[in-house]
Structure 1
Amino acid sequence: MRFAEAVERIERATSLADLGGESAYRAYAKAVHPDAVSANDSATATRAFATLSRLYRERRRVAITGDIADLVVDGDNLNKVPRDPADSDLMEAEAAALTKLQEQGDPKYRPYAPRLRDSYLHEDHERKRRRINTIERLVGFVALDQVKSQLDPRDVAWMWRRLLVGLGWAHRAGVIHGAVLEEHVLVHPEQHGLALVDWCYSGERVKAIVARRRGAYPPEVLKEKTAGPATDIYMATGLMTRLMKDPPKPLQRFADGCSYDKPRMRPQDAWRLLHEFDEVLHSLYGPRTFRPFTI
C-alpha cells in the first residue's frame, strides 16, 4: 500500500471498520509508520499513525478480561492484547506453543486447542509495543470457572478423560501447558467437547503463574520455576477433583497417585494414564454411556 493512499484513507475514516477492520490494521500501520518514511513525510506519518492508533483503540470491545490480557472479539477471532507491554514475552510463548501444536501435533486432536491465526507487534500512540495474538474463537464453549457448584463424578469423568487426551497430544508434540486451571479449560456442554486455552504460561521454564491460583501449582513450579508433563498432570488432577462432589474412593485414590510432591513420583504420560483412568471408571460405572450435561 502506498504511503499517500494510506494517509488519505486514514484521514477520511471515522472508524477502523472504514479501513477494513482489524485484519487491515497491520497493512496501514506498516504504510504510515514514522520509522518507515522519509524525513519529509515524517510529520504527516506521525499524524496518520496517531489517528490510526486512535481508531484501533476506539473499536475495541473487550469480551473477556484475562489474567494478563484483554480478549477482543473480531468476527470469528479473538485478539489477545496484553495490558502491560512487559508481558509480550508471554504472548510470544503462547504463539510458539500454538504454532508447534499446529505444525507437529497429531491433527486428529487439533480441536483440543484453538488455532493461532496471527501474531504481531502493535505500537500504540505512546509508542509502546505489545505482542498481540489473534486466536480462533471457540463458539459454544464455557470455561470451567463458570461452574458454580460441585458436579456429579460421572459428569467430571468425561471432562477428565478429554483433558488427559488433550494433554497427551500436547506432550507428544513437546509442549507443556503450564497452567491447567479452571479459567483455561473450556468445555462444550452439549457436545462434550474440551479445549485448553491460554498457552502463554507454556514451557519448561516458568516465567509467570496465576497469582490467585497459587495453591493449585505443584512444588516444582513454586520452588524451582520448572514444569514438565507431570506438572500438567498434577494440575489437571487438582482441577478435576475440585469440580467433583464426594468423589468415590477409587477416583480419590487415582487422584492421590497423581498428586505427589515430587514430579518423578507422578505419572509422566497422560495417554498411558488415560488407560488406567478408564479401568477405574469401568470398575465404578460399567460401560461408558453419554450423559447430557448443562452449565
Structure 2
Amino acid sequence: MTTTAEAIALIESAGADLFDGDDPAGTYRRLARLTHPDTAGPQGAVAFAKLADLWRNRGTIRTAVGVYSTATLAFEGDLANLYAVPEGHLKLVRDPACNDLMAREATALRQIAERGDPRYLPYVPRLVDSFRHQDGGVKRRGNVLGTTTRQLSSLAEVARRRPGGLDPRDAAWMWRRLLVALGLAHRAGVVHGAVLPEHVLIEPADHGVVLVDWCYSTSEPGDRIPAIVPHRRDHYPAEVLARETPGPYTDLAMAAGLMADLMGGQAPQALRRFADGCRLTSPRQRPDDAWKLLGELDDLLHRLYGPRKFRPFNL
C-alpha cells in the first residue's frame, strides 16, 4: 500500500489478523506513518486509533470467562496449537474444519468432571473455558485447559530416551496410572479413542500421569471415533479403522499396545501375554473394564516382582 486512503481502508476492514505477516512490527509502523493524525487529518485519526488498539490487543482472545494470549506457543499438537497461559494452556485449532473435534474434547472433559470420581480427576486436564473465536472472518474453536505446573514428558519422549526398551518395573506404574485415567473416563461414559504415545504425559519424579487430547473421544452410545492420527495408524484396533462402534475395550487395547511397545524386548513373557490378551482381534474377547484389568495387572506384577515399592525414575 502506498496511499493514506489505502491504509485507512485496510485498517477499517481489519481484524486481529492484520499483523499475521512475517514483519508485524513493520506493518504497524507503515500503517501508523500513513494514518498519523498530523498528516492524515481527522479520518486518519480514527484509523490510527483503531490501529493502535489492534496492535495493543494483538494475539489476545477475550471470552466471557477470561482473557488469553497467543504470544507464547508451547506445543504444536495433532490438530491445534497450544499456547502457555496462566491457567495452563490455550488450545486453538489450526484448521477450522476440525472445530468439531475440539468441541468433542470439551464435551468429554465436562462429562468426566461431572460424573467422574473426584479423587482421579488430576489424571485428565481440567476444562477452564471453551469458545469460538473469529479472526479475520475465520471461526476457530478453542479450549483452555488447566494443567499441572510440574514438568511433564510424553511417552513418545520416553520411547526416544529408552530405545532399548523400558524396564518393566518402570513401565508398571505408568500402565497402572493409565488404567486409572481410563477407568475414570469409562465410568463417566467416555471413550478416549486415541491412547497414543504423544497423548500420555508422565511426571517422572512423582510418578504422575495425565491423559490428554480428548478430541477423538466418544461420549454418546453408538458414536464412532471421528478421526485417527495418520502417522499412528498401526496403533489403532480394527474396530476404529473399520468405523465400528468403540468401547472401553478399544482404549484398553491401545494402552496395552503402547506399553508393550515401550517395554520392547525388556518385557517378560508373562507381561507380553497379558498385553496380547488385551489386543485380540475381536473386541468381545478383550477386557472391557479398566478397574478389573488393573487388579489383574497388579496380581501379575506381584507374582513377577513382589510387593509394590516406589522405584525412582529419571529421564
User: Considering the TM-score relative to the shorter chain, is it more than 0.5?
Assistant: yes
What amino acid is the match of 2:249? A
Q: Tell me the residue number matched to 1:131.
A: 141
Q: Given that residues 207 and 225 in structure 1 are in contact (C-alpha distance below 8 angstroms), is that contact kept between their aligned partners in structure 2?
A: no
The structure number with the bigger radius of gyration is 2
What amino acid is the match of 1:135? L
Q: Given that residues 69 and 83 in structure 1 are in contact (C-alpha distance below 8 angstroms), is that contact kept between their aligned partners in structure 2?
A: yes
Structure 1 residues 123 and 278, CA, compared in 2 at 3 Å: closer, same or farther? same
Q: Does 1:190 align with 2:190?
A: no
User: What is the alpha-carbon root mean square deviation over aligned residues?
Assistant: 2.2
What amino acid is the match of 1:94? E
In structure 1, C-alpha distance between the alignment counterparts of 2:74 and 2:103, rounded to whole Å: 21
Q: Offset at 1:250? A: 1.0
Q: Offset at 1:226? A: 2.7
**Which segments of 5 or more consecutive residues in structure 2 lack a partner in the other structure?**
1-48
Q: Offset at 1:12? A: 4.4
Which of these residues, 57, 75, 87, is aligned with residue 16 of structure 1? 57
SS at match of 1:70: strand
Q: Given that residues 87 and 144 in structure 2 are in contact (C-alpha distance below 8 angstroms), is that contact kept between their aligned partners in structure 1?
A: no
Q: Tell me the residue number matched to 2:6.
A: none
TM-score when normalising by structure 2 = 0.77
What amino acid is the match of 2:313? F
Which of these residues, 180, 184, 202, is aligned with residue 217 of structure 2? 202
What amino acid is the match of 1:95? A
Q: Does 1:146 align with 2:157?
A: yes
Q: Tell me the residue number matched to 1:293.
A: 313
Q: Given that residues 93 and 200 in structure 1 are in contact (C-alpha distance below 8 angstroms), is that contact kept between their aligned partners in structure 2?
A: yes
Q: Tell me the residue number matched to 1:268.
A: 288
Q: Offset at 1:172? A: 0.4
Q: Tell me the residue number matched to 1:281.
A: 301
Q: Tell me the residue number matched to 1:88.
A: 99
Q: Given that residues 183 and 289 in structure 2 are in contact (C-alpha distance below 8 angstroms), is that contact kept between their aligned partners in structure 1?
A: yes
SS at match of 2:122: helix
Equivalent runs, 1:44-55 vs 2, <5 Å: none
Q: Tell me the residue number matched to 1:171.
A: 186
Q: Offset at 1:11? A: 4.3
What amino acid is the match of 1:251? L
How many aligned residue pairs are there? 256
In structure 2, C-alpha distance between the alignment counterparts of 1:138 and 1:175, rounded to whole Å: 22
User: How many percent of aligned residue pairs carry the same amino acid?
Assistant: 52
CA deviations 1:57-106 (Å, max 9, x no partner) are xx432210110111011123211111100100000000000000111111
Q: Given that residues 127 and 146 in structure 2 are in contact (C-alpha distance below 8 angstroms), is that contact kept between their aligned partners in structure 1?
A: yes
Between 1:235-244 and 1:144-153, the stretch displaced more is: 144-153
Q: Tell me the residue number matched to 1:157.
A: 172
In structure 2, C-alpha distance between the alignment counterparts of 1:80 and 1:10, rounded to whole Å: 27
In structure 2, C-alpha distance between the alignment counterparts of 1:286 and 1:165, rounded to whole Å: 21
Between 1:182-191 and 1:73-82, the stretch displaced more is: 73-82
**Which segments of 5 or more consecutive residues in structure 1 lack a partner in the other structure?**
1-7, 28-54
In structure 2, C-alpha distance between the alignment counterparts of 1:269 and 1:26, rounded to whole Å: 39
TM-score when normalising by structure 1 = 0.82
What amino acid is the match of 2:123? Y
Q: Offset at 1:137? A: 2.8
Q: Offset at 1:26? A: 2.6
Q: Does 1:259 align with 2:296?
A: no
Q: Given that residues 87 and 128 in structure 2 are in contact (C-alpha distance below 8 angstroms), is that contact kept between their aligned partners in structure 1?
A: no
In structure 2, C-alpha distance between the alignment counterparts of 1:289 and 1:137, rounded to whole Å: 27
Q: Tell me the residue number matched to 2:253.
A: 234
